[in-house]
Amino acid sequence: MALKLNKWNTLDYLKTDEDRAAYLEACFDEAGDDPIFIAKALDNIAKAKGMNDLMLDKVEPSFSSILKAMKALGIRLHAEAVTH
């Protein structure tokens, strides 16, 4: 018997503002220094909210573009001290 797998769709899990914020937080943790990773996450959030693709992942986005996209999506960036 063959194993049937369903295709993963991130948008299926971004239903609430809290879901979207947690997703972006996880993406920040995973992205390292890759701004395109964050841009793709913001595009996914935009699509989940019924907005058009922000097209941020087509080129390496500037920090200004990331901040503008976050503002448009109703997401605030905050800083947190990291203890080592």
Q: What does the pLDDT profile of the chain (84 residues) look like in tens digits?
A: 889 988 999 999 999 999 999 999 999 999 998 999 999 999 999 999 999 878 776 778 889 999 999 999 999 988 889 887
In whole angstroms, how far apart are CA 17 and each of 1, 8, 39, 81, 84?
40, 20, 18, 24, 30
Distance CA 60, CA 15 (A): 27
Distance CA 59, CA 50 (A): 22
User: Which of these, 58, 60, 47, 59, lies nearest to 20 by C-alpha position?
Assistant: 47
**CA contacts within 13 A on the Cβ side of 30:** 12
Token pair for 16: 């609430």
Provide the pLDDT for residue 11: 94
